[in-house]
Structure 1
Amino acid sequence: MTYIAEQERYDKMTYNRSGKSGLRLPAISLGLWHNFGGINVLENQRAMARRAFDLGITHFDLANNYGPPPGSAEENFGTLLKQDLAPYRDELIISTKAGYYMWPGPYGEWGSKKNLVASLNQSLTRMGLDYVDIFYHHRPDPNTPLEETMSALDLIVRQGKALYVGLSNYSAEQTREASRILKSLGTPCLIHQPSYSMLNRWIEDGLQDVLDEEGIGSIAFSPLAGGMLTDRYLNGIAPDSRAAGPSVFMKPEQVTEERLAKVRKLDELAKSRGQKMSQLALAWVLRGGRVTSALIGASKVSQIEDAVGALAALEFTGEELALIEGILQG
């Protein structure tokens, strides 16, 4: 059956300006890091993509190596575009990345101009696109001059293969220098994608200040700490959870009793606010407007619906913030 998007989709979402740019991103974005690969069921992927867009999620985030196997998430998303979302292409923000290992030999990873240009060409072919909206360098390269990597991003924009460029996993100082170079080239950095959650707050130690100073937006990945900040682990490690399986994203040793005690206290606060634990965690990441968008992963439609539901209660009282801080620091 032909997909027709929900007419009221834009009434259900909050959109935030990315830094000092003209681009606004949905407060909740959908990442295709896991559950959208070749080993997953395409019909479930289709249901999630459709529901996400119907809820006003316009931003779909990928990378060259997303799967598994690597590349298959882009291939599957290309199929979903062709079958469902192509009529809405100009309403979508599609991003991809390069920097992690993708193919053998000296040009299959890191930050050389050769790697970045070749990788994006491959990504565009897999997705059936002429351009992406955002192209990221996925991780800093200790051996390639930053000027070369940034000039590659500038070249890609000038070639018309990306509208904007971003950085991921860069430190505060690396971000400042990269931003300086990009501005000098005439292609300012739009956005930074760092990991950030209640249990992982490294960006508060300098990076957020740099982003504010440079006028760069931010999109936080792993805002639910790999599932720890949901109701999945309130009673320990469930047999069907990530931590119980072979997942590289959550290991049993990460599910400590100390962490569980904090999450259980946070869950009580969430209930008092009329939220699920996951919704509290997303609202907290978005608090105060310093994070442009929270990037979620999902394995089923209901998780996307829950995430968007977090937007109904984004405000915190001073007392609530102090209580959260006490729990996290305790």
Structure 2
Amino acid sequence: MVYVASDERYEVMRYNRCGKSGLKLPAISLGLWHNFGGIDSYENGREMITRAFDLGITHFDLANNYGPPAGSAEELFGRVLARDLAPYRDEMLISTKAGYYMWPGPYGDWGSRKYLLSSLDQSLKRLGLDYVDIFYSHRPDPETPLEETMQALDHIVRSGKALYIGLSNYTAEQTSQAVKILKELGTPLLIHQPRYSMLDRWIEGGLLAVLEENGIGSIAFTPLAQGMLTNKYLNGIPENSRAAKPSTALNESRITPDVLRKIRALNQLAASRGQSLAQFALSWTLREGKVTSALIGASRVSQIEENIAALANTDFSQEELDRIETILRTEEDN
């Protein structure tokens, strides 16, 4: 069956300007970190990607190592792009990254010019593209000079293999240094992609101020705290959940009784607003325009539809904001 995009795809989504650039991002973007790999269902991945586009999600976020196996998420997206979305390429923002382990040897990890340029070439082949819209340095490299990493990003834009560049997982200080280098090179930093949620607010300690001061956009990953800010864990940890697997970043050690109490209290506040906990968490992330876009993951179409519905109510009263702060400050022994 030939895919034809919905004529109503731009009627619900909100688009926010990315810093002081000419680019706008959808308030909700789709990340392919999980559930789009070679071990996952291609048809389910295709259905989620095309449904997301029909709902106005124009930004699809990838990385070289997304899968598993590494590279397979880009391959899946490339197949969907070729089969269904090729006529709409100019309506889409496609991003990828490099910075984590990708292949053996001294040139398959971190932030050297060699690794970043080689990785992007591989990513473009898997995606079937001549360029990506945004290319990120996925994490800072403690051993490679920051100048080398930034010069590689500058070269990537000048070579036409990416339209814009971004950083992910850089601290406020590292970001400030990178901004200065990139300004001198003549290729401005477009966007920063940090972790951010009600349960992980580190960027409020300085990074948001750096981004605002320099006119840089932001896109928050794990705004639902890897599923903790959904209804999944309201009654404890399901046996088949990600948190039940000891090898994952989200495990039982993070979902303490104190965290569960906070999640349940937040869920009650969400219900009073007519929202699910996930919608509530996304609305909070996007409050007051502090974040350009919230980057969601999904395992099924219904999750994407639920998350986009959060945009119907992203305003908070001062009473609600105060109540959230009280809940989040509650300690285990209170």
**Same-fold call, TM cutoff 0.5:** yes
SS at match of 1:298: coil
Deviations 1:269-304 (A, max 9, x none): 100000000000000011110100000010000110
For the structure 1 residues 38 and 95, does the alpha-carbon distance in structure 2 shift closer, same or farther, using more than 3 Å as the test?
same
- The equivalent residue for 1:46 is 46
* Superposition TM-score, scaled by structure 1 size: 0.99
Aligned to 1:293: 293
Tell me, in whole angstroms, the C-alpha distance in 1 between the residues paired with 2:156 and 2:226. 32
1:193 corresponds in structure 2 to: 193
In the alignment, the residues of structure 2 paired with residue 203 and residue 47 of structure 1 have an alpha-carbon distance, to the nearest angstrom, of 33
The letter for the 1-side match of 2:47 is A
Of all paired residues, the percent bearing the same amino acid is 70
What is the alpha-carbon distance in structure 2 between the residues aligned to residue 219 and residue 287 of structure 1? 13
5+ residue gaps in structure 1? Answer: none
C-alpha separation between the residues in 1 aligned to 2:208 and 2:243? Answer: 30
Residue 178 (1) aligns with residue 173 (2) = no
TM-superposed CA distance for 1:113, in Å, is 0.6
- Give, in angstroms, the shift of residue 240 of structure 1: 2.2
Of 52-61 and 242-251, the range deviating more from structure 2:
242-251
Aligned partners of 2:143 and 2:56: how far apart in 1? 41
> Which residue is equivalent to 1:270?
270
* Structure 1 CA distance for aligned equivalents of residues 182 and 85 of structure 2: 32
| Distance in structure 2 (CA, Å) of the matches to 1:247 and 1:283 | 30
1:72-221 aligned at under 5 Å gives the runs: 72-221=72-221
Q: Which residue is equivalent to 1:237?
A: 237
- Once residues 64 and 242 of structure 2 are traced to their aligned partners in structure 1, the CA distance between those partners, rounded to angstroms, is 23
Query: Runs of at least 4 residues of structure 1 off by over 4 A?
Result: none
**Contact 2:100/2:138 (<8 A) preserved:** yes
Between the aligned partners of 1:116 and 1:161, the Cα distance in structure 2 is 12
Q: CA deviation at 1:249?
A: 3.2
Q: Deviations over 1:110-166 (max 9, x none)?
A: 111111000000000000000000000000001111111001000000000000000
| TM-score normalised over the length of structure 2 | 0.98
2:246–2:252 Cα contact (<8 Å) kept: no
The Cα offsets for residues 16-68 of structure 1, whole Å up to 9 and x where unpaired, read as 00111000000000000010000000000011001100000000000000000
Give, in angstroms, the shift of residue 246 of structure 1.
Answer: 5.3
CA drift at 1:242: 1.2
Distance 1:90 1:249 in 2: 35
Where 2:253 maps in the other structure, the secondary structure is helix
RMSD: 0.7
CA distance in 1, matches of 2:247, 2:221: 17
For 1:279, what is the secondary structure of its paired residue? Answer: helix
Query: In the alignment, which residue of structure 2 is the partner of 1:303?
Result: 303
What is the total number of aligned residue pairs between the two structures?
Answer: 330
Tell me, what secondary structure is at the counterpart of 1:269?
A: helix
Give, in angstroms, the shift of residue 244 of structure 1. Answer: 1.9
